[in-house]
Amino acid sequence: MMKDITDIFHRLRNGQTVSFQDPEAYKLRAASFATKKLLNTMNNSADPSEIRVLLREITGSEIDESVAVFTPLYINYGKHTKIGKNVFINFDCVFLDLGGITIEDNVQIAPKVSLLSEGHPLNPKERSSLMVGHILIKKNAWIGANATILPGVTIGENAVVAAGAVVSKDVPDNTIVGGVPAKIIKGIE
């Protein structure tokens, strides 16, 4: 069955800004509560296999057996998150994924990392809208503890994001970034 192009989730995944006055805005909250129910079970499990099964259900996509998630993990929707093979996600991470989050193979994500593919317009008259931007974390990247990745950012292959960094711009392959806002510190040989 083909998805209706007016579906709010489809529009968000395609990068459209959506007002909370949108006739389908109620679906966002309903989907978040459905995800939260699954997260409650997942976050109370210590069984890696059960965690992967529940994460599969939350994301609606395959989660390879090489993926390790130390719960708790918090996701507001889930269906716009794709996780590659041999990915490690440490404790207390937050994924706001309505704009889409793709985590490629061999990525390491430290504790308390926030991947925020959603935000709000700066204009106060439009602030009750949701703006999105797909986050892409390429192969073999390492995201340090308490780092925040903002909407629309790509983290390059083999890149390192230092602990506590706030990343608002793309990170080139084979570089280390750090700070607020994150800036290139040096290249990786």
Per-residue confidence band for 6, with pLDDT thresholds at 50, 70 and 90:
confident
Chain mean pLDDT for the chain: 95
Work out how many domains the chain is built from and give that number: 1
Q: What is the CATH number of the domain that holds 72?
A: 2.160.10.10
Q: What is the pTM of this model?
A: 0.94
Closest to 83 (Cα-Cα) out of 13, 12, 139, 160: 139
Domain that holds residue 107: 8-187
Is there a domain that residue 1 lies in?
no
CA distance 41 to 153: 30
- Over pLDDT 90: what percentage of the chain? 96
Is there a domain that residue 133 lies in?
yes
Is there a domain that residue 152 lies in?
yes
Is there a domain that residue 3 lies in?
no
Is there a domain that residue 80 lies in?
yes
Note the Cα 80 to chain centre separation in Å: 8
Q: Which listed residue (10, 80, 120, 134) is catalytic?
A: 120
Is there a domain that residue 2 lies in?
no
Note the Cα 113 to chain centre separation in Å: 10
CA 150 vs CA 37, 101, 156: distances in Å: 26, 11, 14
Tell me, yes or no, if 134 is annotated catalytic. no
pLDDT at residue 5 in the model: 52
Is there a domain that residue 44 lies in?
yes
